[in-house]
Structure 1
Amino acid sequence: LVAAVAAAAVFFIFGIVTVEMPLREVIGKIAVQVVPGSLGASLARAQLGPSLLEEEDIPEPGYTGELFLMVVGALFLSVNIAPTEEVVLIAYKMHPWQEIALVVVTLALMHAFVYEFEFRGSHSPEPGAGFVSIFFRYAIVGYVLVMLVNLYILWTFGRTDGAGFSETLSAVVVLSFPGALGAAVARLIL
């Protein structure tokens, strides 16, 4: 509700929606902004809101919960970037080897943010879990989820219309870089 009211107010102030527009168009524009707005409100509340529990009293989410947090983080960043022309332009200019390098760097950063860097909220690996197990269960699976989320977002904004498989995959890989960072950071913040 807060996101919808904020989006409506900002759109009206900037003239993006007017009283002359059809109601369906106004609702559509606001609906697109409700997702990132509500995610932003949740993240702000998690970081800035009052904490009723001490940090050590907060239970660690399970595997499914961790994956859900990754999807939320990917949505938060990707939905704001996907409508821009830069995603398609960067994807067009990249060579396939650069795209492969971007995937490798993205996976490394996803893993490092959560398990290697000592940020507040960093996760400790399960006892007995090796690097390969953690990397495949979290970084690889998380990256696949980020890619699926980004494919859906690009489709929603019409960025896949008329594009072939190669062009669509390139755009998904480019958008998955910020999406994956959002996924990793969301696991730390939430």
Structure 2
Amino acid sequence: MSGARAEDTEDAQEHPGSDVTPARFLVGLGRGVAGALLFALPMQMTMEMWALGFTMDRWRLALLLLLAIPLLIGISHRIGFEETFSLRESARDAMIAYGIGILTSAVMLSLFKLLTGDMPAQEIAGKIAVQAVPASIGALLGRSELGSGKDDADDDPQAGYGSELFMMAVGALFLNLNMAPTEEMILISYKMTPWHALATILLSIAIMHAFVYAVSFKGGHELADDTPGWHALIRFTLPGYVIALLISVYALWSFGRLDGGSFTPAMMAMIVLAFPGAIGAAAARLIL
């Protein structure tokens, strides 16, 4: 018996976050609701997002909902409602975040009278579903943004390379979900010339690199004195921009912005949307 107690004590000391009190978990849920509102409210009050719930291709919407599950599990492993040490715990937090996203989206859309009893069930489900993805991401991000220093003190600042790229993808996707449904993205892409597009690419890369390495933002990654400046550019900034481009293509395709268009307008729209995506990717490395 004494040996078992010693093993339990040793395990608890090794994984202190695994012993979560109900009060602390409720605090995490509160932060999740606050994060869902803080990050998703702009989309819940955007006309294009309302329409997408009815007009978006059902297969593309289903794919977005399915892809959100591993995305949420990965975020939960980094910054869930509590520190997690297994896939099961991360999946549990991800499903809780999904539930918060669905619930808060339904409540806010009902409050704005965008959901009514006389609407077809398919339209109601579509409107909630398309909003639930960014809201659930916001629910998990709430721990990082709204958590106290005590709760966040256990986070490992030295994340692995793959984890850093993943969080950049999360940041790019989150901002792209805000921008991709709007008509302004397409309008800007039609107004731009190839020179504007080239300047946008260079500025996107410069901003990404400056956010993290040049301007010493809190949470930035300082390079060692013996590390050449191009190392971070090649290893993080350029891969991060490629991720932002790929996320932009997926977001535009999901919302039907690439349907029936030729290659050049699609490429221009991708470059335009990758600009906020690149900022989101860089910000994710700073705050998550």
TM-score range, shorter chain: over 0.9
Aligned to 1:172: 270
User: What is the TM-score of this pair, normalised by structure 2?
Assistant: 0.62
Residue of structure 2 aligned with 1:99, choices 172, 191, 197 = 197
The code of the aligned residue for 2:193 comes to H
**1:24-173 correspondence to structure 2 within 5 Å:** 24-50=122-148, 51-54=150-153, 58-125=156-223, 128-173=226-271
Deviation of 1:133 after TM superposition, in Å, equals 2.2
CA shift digits 1:75-132 (9 cap, x unpaired): 1111011111000000000000100000000000000101111111111236743222
Between Structure 1 and Structure 2, whose CA radius of gyration is higher? 2
CA gap of 1:48–1:84, structure 2 versus 1, over 3 A, is: same
Alpha-carbon distance between aligned partners in 2 of 1:159 and 1:14, rounded to the nearest angstrom: 26
Aligned length: 189
Name structure 2 gaps, 5 residues minimum: 1-98
Moved more, 16-25 or 84-93: 16-25
Alpha-carbon distance between aligned partners in 2 of 1:125 and 1:30, rounded to the nearest angstrom: 44
Preserved contact between residue 144 and residue 152 of structure 2 (Cα < 8 Å): no
The code of the aligned residue for 2:282 comes to A
Preserved contact between residue 211 and residue 282 of structure 2 (Cα < 8 Å): yes
The code of the aligned residue for 1:58 comes to D
Name structure 1 gaps, 5 residues minimum: none
Preserved contact between residue 92 and residue 167 of structure 1 (Cα < 8 Å): yes
- More relative contact order, 1 or 2 (CA 8 Å, 6+ apart): 1
Aligned to 1:182: 280
Moved more, 33-42 or 155-164: 33-42
Deviation of 1:4 after TM superposition, in Å, equals 1.1
The code of the aligned residue for 1:6 comes to T
Aligned-residue sequence identity (percent) comes to 47
The secondary structure found in structure 1 opposite 2:202 is helix
User: What is the TM-score of this pair, normalised by structure 1?
Assistant: 0.92
The code of the aligned residue for 1:161 comes to D
